[in-house]
Chains A and B, each alone.
Chain A
Amino acid sequence: DSGVTQTPKHLITATGQRVTLRCSPRSGDLSVYWYQQSLDQGLQFLIQYYNGEERAKGNILERFSAQQFPDLHSELNLSSLELGDSALYFCASSPSGGSYGYTFGSGTRLTVV
């Protein structure tokens, strides 16, 4: 157990639907990061939050949004889902920046049918 909790582990949904992925960071970590991993594209950075505020944005689609709550857990919302959104979605956390690495959760596998 890495200390980063992601739910659900698996999600199957239809095109056009909306889903919410949840992440609880490791105790004491203030930064939360979201990554998407497809078979052919490696780890793609989506977005980072630090202590409730957005800090950095990567290749996140407009159909996707995220937030970090006062208790530091984070949610990633994916809407108008397309087949190409099927992927593993990882949350990671760190104390502040990533200078000494991240702790990753075990991911949410999203399948859009």
Chain B
Amino acid sequence: TQLLEQSPQFLSIQEGENLTVYCNSSSVFSSLQWYRQEPGEGPVLLVTVVTGGEVKKLKRLTFQFGDARKDSSLHITAAQPGDTGLYLCAGVIGTYKYIFGTGTRLKVLA
């Protein structure tokens, strides 16, 4: 069974702090996505990483794909209350097999 474990599961921080969320698996992914989901809404795609070692930045969010394409991290600098939500990673194995991570629920307090 392929699993995509995220850590931490829950995170509550103060506005202005930095944080890192991890996404780990024993499987090799052809690509990996990060999504953010707000309560009662569908997940929204933030980024796709494809190449091992790839780093992508989206304003205060930095995404990194592991060299072996088995893991990824999401780093948020100077978190804001608007960053609150459920962060999900999702990995693609081959062409069609798609696995969602277990999720990290982030709360940023003003």
Closest B residue to A102 using CB positions: B45
* In contact, A42 and B102 (Cβ under 8 angstroms): yes
* Centre residue among A33, A42, A101 by max chain B CB count within 10 A: A101
The chain A residues found within 8 Å of chain B, CB to CB, are: 2, 4, 33, 42-43, 45, 48, 55-56, 88, 90, 92, 97-107, 109
Interface of A is mostly: strand
Partner of B43, one of A48, A98, A104, A109: A104
The tally of residues in B whose CB lies under 8 Å from a CB in A reads: 22
The chain B residues found within 8 Å of chain A, CB to CB, are: 30-31, 33, 35, 40-45, 48, 50, 88, 90, 92, 95-98, 100, 102-103
* In contact, A98 and B103 (Cβ under 8 angstroms): no
* In contact, B92 and A105 (Cβ under 8 angstroms): no
Partner of A106, one of B41, B92, B95: B41
* In contact, B100 and A42 (Cβ under 8 angstroms): yes
Q: For the complex, give the distance between the alpha carbons of A94 and B9 in Å.
A: 28
* In contact, B42 and A106 (Cβ under 8 angstroms): yes
